[in-house]
Chain A
Amino acid sequence: MKRQSLYQKACWLANDIQVLFIRSLKHIYKNYDQLLGLTIQPIMFMLLFRYVLGGAILVEEGTYINFLMAGILVQGVAFGSLTTSYSIAMDLQRGIIDRLKTLPITSWAVMMGHVAGDLVRNTLQAVIIIFMGLLVGFHPSASVPDWAVIVVLVFLFTLAVSWMAAIMGLAAKTLESVSWIGFLVMFPLTFASAAFVPTKTMPPVLRTFAENQPVTHIVEAIRALTLGKSAGHHLWFALVWCMAIIIISIPVAAYLFRRHGGK
């Protein structure tokens, strides 16, 4: 066998990631039910809060829908990224990951493929949510650079949650457990936050948690930006949180991935 040069190896890694990314993209449009489901849920939440609950929620300034949009967007992304859990658990159960591991490839490229697929899916989902928001009275006043920062934040948040989701997918014993594990993690993170209501009225312990956890910082940063205000310290906290989660999750996911099959 020829000795592989470093350049050759890099080319192959790029090839492997590309192939598995294309696979994930194909899943998006061949399994459009999933995208539909992932998009309908946040839209229903948006309508629920906008028309049913929103009237009873007091925000300091502006309309409630302008307050709400950032929360809906971030929650949609958070739950959307859980697709990675499901895809990885499915690949494990179906023996696809086993098969990939017997190929001459860098096998964790399959996780990269799923996470990259999440980025595309979440972007599509976010665009649809924002569009629906505009229909029900969302009125952003963000400038073009503000939007650029929002896009970066959504991307980073997607990466962070997707890698967390990868860990959950690798740790889950069954496909059924994937959905409740994801729910158990995402539900408190998104609801015990400033996503839907101001944190001021929460009891002290909950409020302390809500005001310092990553989702709140990301929501507050995006909210300020959509309203054309400065995101202030929330932006930096959001960036640091996302980077920290990404930096910690990737090696953990890689470790769990390697360990699988060698149990």
Chain B
Amino acid sequence: MREYAIEIENLKKSFKKLAVLKGVNLTVKPGEVFTLLGPNGAGKTTIIRILSTLLKPDSGKIIVNGYNLKTQPQEIRQSIGLTGQYTAVDEYLTGLENLEMMGRLYHLSRSEIKQRVPILLEQFDLMEAARRPVKNYSGGMRRKLDLAAGLIASPPIVFLDEPTSSLDPRSRLAVWEIIKNLVSEGITVFLTTQHLEEADTLADRVAVINGGRIIADDTPERLKNLVGKERLELVFKTSEDFARALTIIKGSELYHDQKTNTVSLAVERGVIDIQEILNRMEKARIQVETLTLRKPTLDDVFMHFTGRKAEEEEGLKV
């Protein structure tokens, strides 16, 4: 078995004068779920579009499934399945017809298609809806069909560009379940997301991308430990209280936002930490408006690495 399913070396890409990727280096091992985490406009979709042969890079070496992107794009296309941000299924055809069409376009034989389609419909819980036109499907069903279409030829590598964006929580869980199943079949999954929680649930490895550069590349556990397993967020009534609180509260990974009078910090000991902080606030007669204990988000990771929130870079959506 080769060492890497995907290798990216010093990948650069600009649109007109706008540099979107400024030298990206990444490797993905076979059979792992690799997650690219970043805000809108960070370059996630651009990387996926390049890896799936839709976009030519300006420079850099790219190997997918052992094939060189420059010289063997057709071989790469045989080894990948892509599910883009928009559900790319035919509205007028039924789910079954969509899958059969994709099978034929992957040049599978009729018997292979006959064998593969029911398996996928079953696996994705679409058996009942198989003979209904897709335009009557719910968002979650479309997304599932879209994923199934990318898997029809059992490709060794699957690209998923924000597979759960615009899905309701239940469908999101269903898609997560499907992605976990892919892993058990030994498929390499390269997915992008804006949500740390999603990366944490699914990924073996997370790379954080910001402004066209990889700023972190680690396991989700270690990434999360960097910013605290849980975070306490305090909002103060007045800016005076906020300023005074800042001088009192001590903690690791402490960030504050003057505009919203908000302080957030990692809490390692849960309730004990909260109690301590509240006691101090009371002693100093500082009014806390709201208090929330929450899971770390992409923003916290970005605060850790860049000192600022994950801001969308406008006009970079490609």
B55 at interface (Cβ–Cβ under 8 A)? yes
Pairwise interchain contact B84-A98, C-beta atoms closer than 8 A: yes
Q: Contact check, A103 vs B52: say whether CB atoms are below 8 A apart.
A: no
With an 8 A cutoff between CB atoms, is A27 at the interface?
A: yes
A16: which of B93, B105, B150 is its contact (CB, 8 Å)?
B105
Interface check B75, CB cutoff 8 A = yes
Interface residue total, chain B, C-beta cutoff 8 A: 34
Residues of B within 8 A of A20 (CB): 105
Q: Are B92 and A104 in touch, CB under 8 angstroms?
A: no
Report Cα–Cα, A183/B15, bound state, in Å: 32
Asked if A261 meets B105 with Cβ closer than 8 Å, knowing A31-B92, A96-B88, A102-B80, the reply is no
Instruction: Name the contact of A104 in the complex, choosing from B74, B87, B101, B149 (C-beta under 8 A).
Output: B74
CB-based contact B55/A26 at 8 Å: no
Determine whether the beta carbon of B92 is less than 8 Å from that of A103: no
Q: Mark interface residues in B112-125 (1 if CB within 8 Å of A CB, else 0).
A: 00000000000000
Q: Which residues of B contact A12 (CB under 8 A)?
A: 107
Q: Does A263 sit at the interface, judged by CB under 8 A? A: yes
Let me know if B82 and A96 touch, CB within 8 A. Answer: no
Asked if B284 is at the interface of the complex by the 8 Å CB criterion, the answer is: no
Q: Are B52 and A102 touching (Cβ within 8 A)?
A: yes
Given contacts A12-B107, A15-B107, A30-B93, contact A98 B54 (CB under 8 A): yes
* B317 proximal to A (CB < 8 A): no
**Within 8 Å CB of B133, what residues of A?**
30
Chain B window 91-113, contacts with chain A (Cβ cutoff 8 Å), 1 for yes, 0 for no: 11100010001101111000000
A26:B97 contact, CB within 8 angstroms = yes
B78 within 8 A of A: yes
In the complex, what residues of B have CB within 8 A of residue A96's CB? Answer: 88-90
Interface of chain A residues 1 through 54 with chain B (CB within 8 A): 1, 12, 15-16, 19-20, 22-23, 26-27, 30-31
Q: Which of A62-117 contact B (CB under 8 A)?
A: 93-96, 98-105
What is the number of residues of chain A that contact chain B, defined by CB distance less than 8 Å?
Answer: 27
Collect the chain B residues with CB atoms within 8 Å of residue A31's CB: 92
Contacts A30-B92, A31-B92 given; indicate if A104 touches B77 (C-beta within 8 A).
yes
B92 touching A261, Cβ below 8 Å: no
**Which residues of chain B are near A95, meaning CB under 8 Å?**
84-88
- Residues from chain B with Cβ under 8 Å of A99 in the complex: 82, 84, 88, 149-150
Given A19-B105, A30-B92, A263-B15; A102-B78 close (CB under 8 Å): no
Question: B93 near A101 (CB under 8 angstroms)?
Answer: no
Q: Is the CB of B53 within 8 A of A94?
A: no
- Tell me the minimal C-beta distance from A132 to chain B in angstroms: 27
- Known contacts being A15-B107, A30-B92, is A94 close to B86, with CB within 8 Å? yes
Residues of B within 8 A of A262 (CB): 54-56
In the complex, the answer to whether B87 meets A23 with C-beta atoms within 8 Å is no
A31-B92, A262-B55 are contacts. A103–B105 as well, Cβ < 8 Å? yes
Distance in Å: Cβ of A255 to nearest Cβ of chain B: 15
CA distance A261 to B97 in the complex (A): 26
Q: A101 near B53 (CB under 8 angstroms)?
A: yes
A27 touches B107 (CB 8 A): no
Give complex CA distance A23, B100 in Å: 11
The interface bits of chain B over 51-73 (1 if a CB of A lies within 8 angstroms of the residue's CB, else 0) are 01111100000000000000000
Closest B residue, CB atoms, query A30: B92
Against A, the Cβ 8 Å flags (1 = close, 0 = not) of B161-197 are: 0000000000000000000000000000000000000
Q: Nearest chain B CB to A260's CB is how many angstroms away?
A: 9
Residue from A100, A104, A105, A261 in contact with B55 in the complex, judged by beta carbons closer than 8 Å: A261
How far apart sit A101 and B50, CA to CA, in the bound complex (Å)? 12
Question: Is B49 part of the binding interface, using a Cβ–Cβ cutoff of 8 Å?
Answer: yes
Given known A26-B97, A27-B92, A261-B49, contact A103–B84 (CB-CB < 8 A): no
Contact of A102 among B56, B75, B77 (CB under 8 A): B77
Contact A100 B54 (CB under 8 A): no
- Chain A residues closer than 8 Å to B82, beta-carbon distance: 98-99, 102
20 contacts between A and B (CB under 8 A): A1-B78, A15-B107, A19-B105, A23-B101, A30-B93, A30-B133, A93-B86, A94-B86, A94-B88, A95-B85, A95-B88, A96-B88, A96-B89, A98-B54, A98-B82, A98-B84, A99-B88, A99-B149, A102-B77, A103-B106
Additional 18 contacts, C-beta under 8 A, given A1-B78, A26-B92, A99-B150: A15-B107, A16-B105, A19-B105, A23-B101, A26-B93, A27-B92, A95-B86, A96-B88, A98-B49, A98-B54, A98-B82, A102-B52, A102-B53, A102-B54, A102-B82, A103-B106, A261-B55, A262-B55
**Interface of A with B (CB < 8 Å)?**
1, 12, 15-16, 19-20, 22-23, 26-27, 30-31, 93-96, 98-105, 261-263
